[in-house]
């Protein structure tokens, strides 16, 4: 299955305008025209929830290439078993699941958790389809201070912060709220901040083929604040610079200055 995926990507390889020195293991091979890019990826990598493939032998970067799908029906069907797991957890913590405040907590917690991971139900192609416009604009476009809420995949504890996105269009611009929607899709998952940053940048790249993309995320990790080292004021900052943002220091500077102001 791995081999066939690679062949498919290799055969549709276009000239990569962005980053000759890409560290993304084969990911830019898959760059194609706008509609095919999204559909191509979705068709090439249909993912039944729970993984038809074991992740243990896959290279690390591959696991975020596929867009896992989970449907609304799946959600409803898994609710009882999720609620049961939460009841077990309540009991295991020494609480009394029958007391008034906790009676419906397993259901509420299960629904909440499904909401926090609703990114698995959504695909970029659904969100972006109509909002790419041809504009003769080639100056930087920045959307900053996008509130972001995610879940740490290591401790299942929230991460929250702000995302700043900038891109240099190459004749194609994106509806502004779509940038925020891309953030939502990838952040409402079990995440690692580094991977989240990269996924957002790559999604924008694939959708628009811009001259460059820059994404900066500044977040607070509750797993560091509420437990463990317990450093209240710590923030983690990650960034991904692609294309001209990576190659040209002046462009990067302009982006970083504008998001700080």
Q: How far is CA 29 from CA 1, 3, 10, 13, 91, in A?
A: 17, 14, 6, 5, 50
Within 10 angstroms of residue 176's Cβ, the number of other Cβ atoms is 12
Stretch that binds other proteins, among 9-17, 95-103, 197-205, 248-256 (CB under 8 A): 95-103
> Does 234 help bind other proteins (rule: CB under 8 A)?
no
Q: CB–CB of 133/175 below 8 Å?
A: yes
> Does 227 help bind other proteins (rule: CB under 8 A)?
yes
> Does 72 help bind other proteins (rule: CB under 8 A)?
no
Smallest CA-to-CA distance from 148 within 126, 109, 179 is with 179
| Closer to other proteins by Cβ: residue 24 or 116 | 116
| Closer to other proteins by Cβ: residue 19 or 67 | 67
> Does 25 help bind other proteins (rule: CB under 8 A)?
no
d(CA 227, CA 95): 20
Active-site residue, 164 included: no
Catalytic entry in 8, 155, 247, 254: 155
Site string for other proteins, 118-157 (x = CB under 8 A): --x--------------------------x-x---xxxxx
> Does 109 help bind other proteins (rule: CB under 8 A)?
yes
| Residues in touch with other proteins (CB under 8 A) | 49-51, 53-56, 58, 60, 63, 68-70, 74, 78, 81-82, 85-86, 88-90, 92-96, 99-102, 104-105, 108-109, 112-117, 120, 147, 149, 153-158, 160, 190, 192, 222-223, 225-227, 232
Residues with catalytic function: 152-155, 193, 221, 223
């Amino acid at each position: 299955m791995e081999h066939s995926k690679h062949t498919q990507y290799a055969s549709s390889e276009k000239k990569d305008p962005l980053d000759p020195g890409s560290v993304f293991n084969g990911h830019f091979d898959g760059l194609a025209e706008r509609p095919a890019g999204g559909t191509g990826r979705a068709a090439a990598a249909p993912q039944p929830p729970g993984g038809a493939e074991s992740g243990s032998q896959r290279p690390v970067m591959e696991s975020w290439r596929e867009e896992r799908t989970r449907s609304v029906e799946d959600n409803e069907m898994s609710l009882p078993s999720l609620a049961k797991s939460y009841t077990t957890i309540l009991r295991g913590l020494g609480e009394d699941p029958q007391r008034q405040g906790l009676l419906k907590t397993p259901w509420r917690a299960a629904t909440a958790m499904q909401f926090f991971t609703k990114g698995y139900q959504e695909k970029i192609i659904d969100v972006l389809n109509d909002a790419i416009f041809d504009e003769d604009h080639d100056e930087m476009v920045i959307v900053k201070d996008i509130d972001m809420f995610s879940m740490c995949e290591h401790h299942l504890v929230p991460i929250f912060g702000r995302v700043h996105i900038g891109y240099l269009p190459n004749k194609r611009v994106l509806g502004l709220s779509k940038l925020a929607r891309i953030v939502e899709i990838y952040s409402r998952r079990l995440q690692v901040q580094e991977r989240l940053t990269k996924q957002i940048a790559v999604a924008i790249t694939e959708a628009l083929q811009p001259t460059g993309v820059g994404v900066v995320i500044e977040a607070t990790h509750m797993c560091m604040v509420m437990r463990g080292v317990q450093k209240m004021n710590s923030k983690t900052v990650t960034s991904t610079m692609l294309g001209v943002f990576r190659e040209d220091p002046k462009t990067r500077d302009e982006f970083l200055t504008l998001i700080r102001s």
